[in-house]
A and B are shown apart, each in its own frame.
Chain A
């Protein structure tokens, strides 16, 4: 390819910007910006997960907070048991807590994957508005369960007193933790690009556009969509585990429908189905929260205006606005 498309250039620019940000923040002595950037990376990763279902697969899930929260609770529960030296369960076999991120991530991915499988199994039998409502309902069920389950803090949530550990990195150093999150965001973006270009991705995009055709060539749309939903939930679940570690706190609010909306909003802001859409959306979201959040507690009013503008005038989101319409081939 002789020249890079505008979208590719924009993606490279965003990547370099995210890479440089912590160094700039340190240079100008604003370490808080690193925390903001970490939030961007984590919410971006959650959005990358949703974008696989929403953008590539056309599955408008309004319940991704369920996976975000499941990942968060997986991290919180494992860490709290590790801290108290109490096993999670003793019979039929012993499961102990851990403060190792690698294990926590694995558990978060598995737990949110199982959650996505069960929720997908039932909700993917519907489509359109019903699908939106059923995914929302499942997420709210888990939300109320978390509130009413006193063992892990119930309504008050669960604190992680010391951020979990990663081999060779000081996770308590904001930069160290930021780069872990950034690396996982990049891995998530790479995975979603790879999936989209694969045979599975071709089938998934077909499931979004024309299920009748996909069945007629002998592929079951339901199974394709369920697989995508599970992978999508796993990515968002991993983001949830990171989010718990960032805040050193897990609460039912991670599971609430506000969270689902937040993830969806940033995907739409950035550009549905665009590779870097969730990252661009997360950047805008966090900037708005930071700037307008400092002025008024009603900062989401301004975010709402921007969202309205995007939906009405820039259907491809910010990425679409800058880089033009998506190319199809």
Chain B
């Protein structure tokens, strides 16, 4: 077996007496979608923050492409190829959809310290960003400011921003959240193809999405991975059914 792209080893994080992340070990291999599920408050968002560098870990390590990410901040980890989306859309509200993606494209190219050329007439930047918007079917809304986009469109923009970074791994935090059934269906088929470009660590509450997309599933409860396995293994795991699926199925 080849080395995993992303390897989380014995990660811990406590807030006072609360263990938000309790000895979590997860791997993400090339070409797969690894879904992370768990009830609210299970520590999924904490874990994502630890992986992305927004939150320091008490112990344990995050290995990405063979490199220990300890001591690197959010921006440095993004530069290495961690492309994340936020649970609550986090975009530049005053910018159009296009300029949001242009920002990600220039960031990926490492050219944010160019002071003179006007970005609006920067054909290379605009074309690249338009191509990415087209991939998430948002090209028709390119000039609409992010503040005026619908909730679902902003979710698509989140994905576009991650795509623009050409990441080596995606961390998607509830990409389906608040999307209509039609939008979810389209996103599912999009993510299905995306795993060939880079593996996806997918946090998702939409069980239909998880079961149709995931190669592997890990279940997080009170900061601990209580089960990990294929879709069928998780579906038939009694502990999981009790702890989690029983409530939502």
Interface residues of A (CB under 8 A from B): 194-195, 197-203, 205-206, 209-210, 212-221, 224, 227, 328-329
Instruction: Specify which chain A residues have a CB less than 8 angstroms from the CB of B164 in the assembled complex.
Output: 217
Other than the given A199-B122, A213-B90, A215-B75, 16 more pairs (CB < 8 A) read A194-B116, A194-B118, A195-B115, A198-B118, A200-B115, A202-B119, A203-B107, A210-B92, A215-B73, A216-B74, A218-B107, A219-B112, A328-B95, A329-B95, A329-B96, A329-B99
Residues of B bordering A, CB below 8 Å: 52, 54, 73-76, 78-79, 84, 86, 90-96, 99, 102-104, 106-108, 111-120, 122, 125, 143, 145, 161, 164-165
User: Considering the chains assembled together, what is the distance between the CA atoms of A328 and B99 in angstroms?
Assistant: 10
B116:A198 contact, CB within 8 angstroms: yes
Q: Give complex CA distance A200, B119 in Å.
A: 10
How close is A206's CB to chain B, nearest CB, in angstroms?
Answer: 5
Q: Quick one: closest A residue to B85, CB to CB?
A: A216
State A194–B117 Cα separation when bound (angstroms).
8
Residues on B with C-beta less than 8 A from A198 are 114-119
3 closest A-B pairs by CB: A218-B78, A215-B74, A217-B107
Chain B contacts for A224, CB-based, 8 A: 112
- Pick the residue among A199, A209, A212, A214 that contacts B117 (CB under 8 A): A199
CA of A203 to CA of B112 in the docked complex: distance in angstroms? Answer: 6
In Å, the complex CA distance between A223 and B150 comes to 32
Q: Which of chain B's residues have a CB closer than 8 A to the CB of A329? A: 95-96, 99, 120, 143, 145
Whether A216 touches B86, Cβ cut-off 8 Å, given contacts A197-B120, A198-B114, A203-B103, is yes
Q: Which of B95, B118, B122, B165 contacts A217 (CB 8 A)?
A: B165
A209 touches B93 (CB 8 A): yes
Q: What is the distance, in angstroms, from A324's C-beta to the closest C-beta of chain B?
A: 16
Shortest CB distance A208–B (Å): 9
Q: A216-B74, A218-B78, A224-B112 are in contact. Are A205 and B92 (CB under 8 A)?
A: yes
Q: How far is the CB of A223 from chain B (nearest CB, A)?
A: 9
Would you list 17 pairs from A and B whose C-beta atoms are within 8 A, ordered by A residue? A197-B120, A198-B118, A199-B114, A199-B115, A199-B117, A200-B113, A202-B112, A203-B112, A205-B94, A206-B103, A209-B94, A215-B74, A217-B161, A218-B108, A218-B165, A328-B94, A329-B145
Residues of chain B with a CB closer than 8 A to A220's CB: 73, 75-76
The winner among B54, B96, B104, B145 for most chain A CB atoms within 10 A is B104
Please report the number of residue pairs spanning A and B whose Cβ atoms sit closer than 8 angstroms.
Answer: 108
CB distance from B133 to the nearest CB of A (A): 15
Query: What is the bound-complex CA distance between A201 and B86, given in angstroms?
Result: 24
A194–B115 contact, CB under 8 A? Answer: yes
Which chain B residue lies CB-closest to A194?
Answer: B116
Contact yes or no, A218 B75, CB < 8 A:
yes
Q: Is the CB of A209 within 8 A of B114?
A: no
The answer to whether A217 touches B115 (Cβ under 8 A) is no
Complex: A212 Cα to B89 Cα, angstroms = 11
| Residues of chain A lying within 8 A (CB to CB) of residue B116 | 194, 198
* Cross-chain contact of A200 among B91, B102, B108, B112 (Cβ < 8 A): B112
Cβ–Cβ contact B113 & A197, under 8 A? no
Complex Cα distance, B164 from A239, in Å, reads: 41
Q: Are B75 and A209 closer than 8 Å at their CB atoms?
A: no
Q: Which of A198, A202, A217, A220 has the most CB of B within 10 A?
A: A217
Instruction: Select the residue from B112, B116, B164 with max chain A CB neighbours within 10 A.
Output: B112
Q: Give the Cβ gap from A254 to chain B, nearest Cβ, in Å.
A: 28
Name the residue among B99, B107, B117 with the largest chain A CB count within 10 angstroms: B107
Contact of B78 among A195, A209, A216, A221 (CB under 8 A): A216
Question: Nearest Cβ distance between residue B161 and chain A, in whole angstroms?
Answer: 6
Chain B, residue nearest A200 (CB): B115
Q: Which of B79, B92, B118, B119 contacts A218 (CB 8 A)?
A: B79
User: Are A212 and B111 in contact (CB-based, < 8 A)?
Assistant: no
Inter-chain CA distance A209–B74, complex, in Å, is: 17
Instruction: Chain B residues near A210: list those with CB within 8 A.
Output: 90-93
Q: What residues of chain A lie closer than 8 Å to B117, measured between beta carbons?
A: 198-199
Q: In the complex, which of the residues A199, A215, A328, A329 has the most CB atoms of chain B within 10 Å of its own CB atom?
A: A199
Residues of A contacting B108 with CB < 8 Å? 217-218
Chain A residues lying within 8 Å of B102, measured Cβ to Cβ, are 202
Bound Cα distance A200, B145 (Å)? 20
Contact partners of A227 in chain B: CB under 8 A? 113
| B103 and A212 form a contact (CB under 8 A) | no
Min CB distance, B182 to chain A, in Å? 27
**Residues of chain B contacted by A328 (CB below 8 angstroms):** 94-96, 145
A202 touches B120 (CB 8 A): no
Q: Are B92 and A197 in contact, with the CB atoms below 8 A?
A: no
Out of A194, A195, A202, which one reaches B99, CB within 8 Å? A202
